[in-house]
Amino acid sequence: MDMSDTPVALHGTAFPIRIVRLETGALPLAQARNLAAAQAKGEHLLFLDVDCIPAAGLVQRIDDELRGADVLVCAEVRYLAEDAVDDGWTEVGLAAVAAPHPVRPFPMKGRRIEPNAGLFWSLTFGIRRDTFRRVGGFDETFTGYGAEDTDFGFRCRDAGLRLVFAGGGPGSFHQHHGVYDPPLQHFEDIVRNATRFQARWGVWAMEGWLEAFDRLELVAFDGRTLTRRRPPTPDEIEAARRPPDVRY
């Protein structure tokens, strides 16, 4: 792990930014989030994925939500198309072209208690620092991509924490990037982490992707058991790449 002790100012920001590099071949999502939380000094934590642009007022909104109640709060993420560069990336311009997620509805305004912990969304969320520690943070035995966020949502639920969806106000904008459907580039991680998740919770995470892997005969998955058959070939991975005009 290579960690700079000196905050780095990027593009004249009014606040220090600390860059931490984890020297690992895997995608250390759980480890990175835990490390970020450990470095934080405030009482409230706001997690923002690297491909998300915070709207003005997002920090204040998460702060208000967490002052009002000890909850796990997700702010709405709206998606930008590939050609979303507008009038200099102003918030007004981005808001005019951003689209909501097609299957993850947020309230038009205010907040909503979401009873399904499996819908926890790690792209933009807030939690009290002491609560994050009490829950135990993200489980770093989920290595690479997938299921670490759903596991965290389930553990928050079991710790008595309500999941709140905050809509109709400041959230974030998800920048367009290439995607794969299904995400064959993360095949090994998904199979490994889905198996670990099922052993802990008795249900499967990422079922849609496992079903897609089954159709490609990469695994045998019937909703009860999962057996790895073979890894995807480079041609299969490339064939899963979404065309550039697909938004999500």
Q: Is 74 left (phi over 0), alpha (psi -120 to 50) or beta?
A: beta
Token pair 């609560």 in the structure block, residue: 131
> What whole-number percentage of the chain has pLDDT above 90?
65
How far apart CA 219 and CA 214 sit, in angstroms, is: 5
Per-residue pLDDT tens for 198-211?
999 999 999 999 99
**Residue 179 vs residue 46, higher pLDDT:** 46
Helix segments in 88-216, DSSP class H: 91-97, 129-135, 148-158, 187-201, 207-215
Residue 24 confidence (pLDDT) above 70: no
Residues 6+ apart with CB under 8 A from 14: none
* C-alpha pair distances (Å), 234 with each of 117, 185, 210: 35, 9, 19
Per-residue pLDDT tens for 113-150?
999 999 998 999 999 999 999 999 999 999 988 999 99
* Residues β-bridged to residue 174: 52, 79
**Helices then strands, each counted (H, E), the chain:** 8, 13
How large is the average pLDDT for residues 16-29?
74
